Amino acid sequence: MRLVLLGGPGSGKGTQADVLKEKYKVIKLSTGDLLRQAISDGSDLGKQAKSYMDKGELVPDSVMIGILDKKTAEFEAKKQGYILDGFPRTLPQADALMDMLKQQKVELTMALLIDVPEAELVRRLSSRWTCKNCSATTFKDPDGNPVVCPQCGGELYQRDDDKKETIINRIEVYNKNTRPLITFFKDKGLLEEVNGYGTFEEISGRIIELFVMKGIK
Ligand SMILES: [Zn+2]
């Protein structure tokens, strides 16, 4: 299985990737993990990546795809499936990924979109509160419950990252840079969608159902 997961911030794709990882014995690859690993390996690409990160700059796509290429080639050699979570994020990255797979003479199994309406993303993301005392995160329902930290009874506050303005901004970035990937993969006949409304288990259930339908094991 070679899977790309798509979905806006708050779509829960990272958590769904964890479920798929267990169930299908595949590796979840996030950009952060890939970079950390390349840097600790001390490879040339890792060193290049580190030089950008040390300057507080974004790692260029060419370096990122180089790291991904090396890692996935190792997986291909041992027939190990993988899920990409958080990559590609832009059209140039998606193009580079497709080129990479072509070079490796393999095909993407699918790009799976966890489709959650924008208003629901905002609602989910802006309901997250953090404990001042123990830093646990918790979700407030529309009635504003819980009022205190369920772990320790501490006072709850909202981190800047979880405030509505920040969230709307994140969603705008997603809409501008990442949403075009939906059409990109659809045009290639690689897009599948699941309804991302509902509980975490309901969404997992839909994904697994889709995999059964597609004969993915
Ligand atoms: Zn607490």
**CA 36 to ligand 1 center in whole angstroms:** 30
| Ion ligand 1 residue ranges (Cβ < 5 Å) | 131, 133-134, 136, 149, 151-152, 154
155 pLDDT tier (thresholds 50, 70, 90)? very high
**CA 159 to ligand 1 center in whole angstroms:** 14
Query: In Å, what is the CA distance from 13 to each residue of 40, 86, 174, 213?
Result: 26, 9, 14, 20
Estimate to the nearest angstrom the gap between the alpha carbon of 40 and the chain centroid: 22
Quick one: pLDDT at residue 21?
A: 94
Quick one: pLDDT at residue 199?
A: 87
Q: Between residues 161 and 38, which one has the greater pLDDT?
A: 38
Estimate to the nearest angstrom the gap between the alpha carbon of 133 and the chain centroid: 29
**CA 49 to ligand 1 center in whole angstroms:** 37
Residue 74 makes CB contacts below 8 A (sequence gap 6+) with 80
CA atoms within 13 A on the CB side of 201: 0
Q: Which residues are catalytic?
A: 13, 89, 128, 159, 170
What pTM was computed for the model?
Answer: 0.86
Closest CA to 116 of 5, 3, 2, 1: 5
Whether the predicted pLDDT of 198 surpasses 90: no
List pLDDT tens digits, range 81-126: 999 998 999 999 999 999 999 999 999 999 999 999 998 888 888 8
